[in-house]
Amino acid sequence: MAAAPVKDVMFASGSSHQAENLPDWHTPFQNYHGPRRMQSRTRPEKDLEILKALKSLAKKRFHTYRVSPLHMFSYPCLQDYAQMLDAHLEAVVKSAGDPTTNSGFHTKISVLPGLAIGQRDPEAIYIQIFRTQEQKRPAWEGLLCCVEPEQSHLKTVRMPFVLLPLLLVHGLQKFTTAWITWLERTFDCCISPLVIPSCELAWMAAMWTGTAVSVPRSLDMEWFAPSVPDGLHITISVKWSDALRLWDCVHTSGEDEVMAQEVALFKQGLEEHFFHHFRVILSAMILQSVSSGVASAHNSGHIKLFDVQNIPCTLRLLTEIALQGFSG
């Protein structure tokens, strides 16, 4: 189900139909966290090497994980780690007796440039697993990173630990399982799927709308009502120009910083517009996914990066989500 173009949205404090008799969890933005920046401090378009490296991440469907600090991880040992992972994969294949993967492997582990933006930020690690008979295209890819974290998080992690809290994986599940098992055993860490809360999806929808992209796309948002038998999914699709006009109405400062109140007003405007046309209260449902010209994200942790120049700021936001609740 799609709504008509957004226009003439009014924000009247206390007059919204959504404000009546709704539990507190429907307003997750108040006092949630401070302002966020839409843009990253890095400019990949000014460095061809960085731009080429980031392009390797674009237009692929990644699943995200949260990773605790790695114990005794050493950047000079990346080649050794690749050989260790090769041996681990061969052992896993032999023990499983899977003839479809009995062709040998070659692992490449390297630093991905352009994501260690701050002076103390850890370098991002890019992992590629190739089949021996097919060296041109990797059968599996992974990225470990920590993009523009708060300095308070970096200060709590001391040697011999390294903070790389965000893991993105793309490829066969058996390779993901083997990689996670090896990583946990080798560096005494804990890895778990990253769930993206609905309030964070709302931040993404607002910030991505206000971010310049090379190829604008419509803003798509999906809500889910688990209380309805068999579930109910409602998707709205808003033209980029209409979404931007709404964003400009709530983000009047024109600054790079985005406030929680602005995100709440942006989401409220879309929900009230939908209610005006279809009499459905979206705020009583769960925001499940968002998609724009920057990226798409689902609360299950799946993400797809579209705009190369905005990959650092998207990974910065995911890093912040992965670090939530981290105490060092």
Model confidence over 101-120: pLDDT tens digits? 556 889 999 999 999 988 88
Q: What is the pTM of this model?
A: 0.87
Q: Has residue 257 got a pLDDT over 50?
A: yes
Strand partners, 140: 129, 171
- Taking only the tens place, the pLDDT of each residue in 129-172 is 998 777 788 999 999 999 998 877 878 888 899 999 999 999 99
Distance of CA 105 to the CA centre of its chain: 29
Q: What are the tokens at 297?
A: 């994200």
Least Cα distance to 259 among 12, 41, 40, 34 occurs for 34
Encoded tokens for 229: 């038998």
φ/ψ bin of 201: left (φ > 0), alpha (ψ from -120 to 50), beta (otherwise):
alpha
The mean-pLDDT minimum among 90-99, 174-183, 219-228, 288-297 falls in 90-99
Residue 314 to residue 325: CA distance in whole angstroms: 20
Q: Please confirm whether the linkage preceding 160 is cis (ω < 30° from 0).
A: yes
70-71 and 61-67 strand pairing: unpaired
Distance CA 176, CA 170 (A): 8
Per-residue pLDDT, 159:
86
Contact of 44 with 114, CB cutoff 8 Å: yes
* Size of the chain in residues: 328
Identify the pLDDT of residue 144: 98
Report residue 43's pLDDT band, with 50, 70 and 90 as the boundaries.
low
- What is residue 2's predicted lDDT score, i.e. its pLDDT? 46
- Dist. CA 23–CA 194, nearest whole Å: 25
Weakest mean pLDDT among 14-23, 104-113, 158-167, 298-307:
14-23
For the cut 90, the answer to whether the pLDDT of residue 228 exceeds it is no
Q: How far is it, in rounded angstroms, from Cα 16 to Cα 49? A: 50
pLDDT above 80: residue 214: yes
**Residue 62 and residue 302 in contact, taking contact as beta carbons nearer than 8 Å:** yes
Please list, in sequence order, all residues whose beta carbon lies within 8 angstroms of the beta carbon of residue 177, skipping any fewer than 6 positions away: none
Residue 7 has pLDDT above 50, yes or no: no
| 3-state class (DSSP) for residue 312 | helix
> CA Rg, the chain, in Å?
21
In this model, does residue 286 exceed pLDDT 60?
yes
Is the pLDDT score of 100 beyond 80? no
* H-assigned helices in 114-236: 151-156, 173-187, 198-209
- 25-35 tens-digit pLDDT: 333 444 456 78
Cα angle 278-302-231, degrees, rounded to a multiple of 5 = 40
Residue 67 near residue 164 (C-beta atoms within 8 A): yes
Q: Which of 16-30, 207-221, 231-245, 302-316 has the lowest mean pLDDT?
A: 16-30
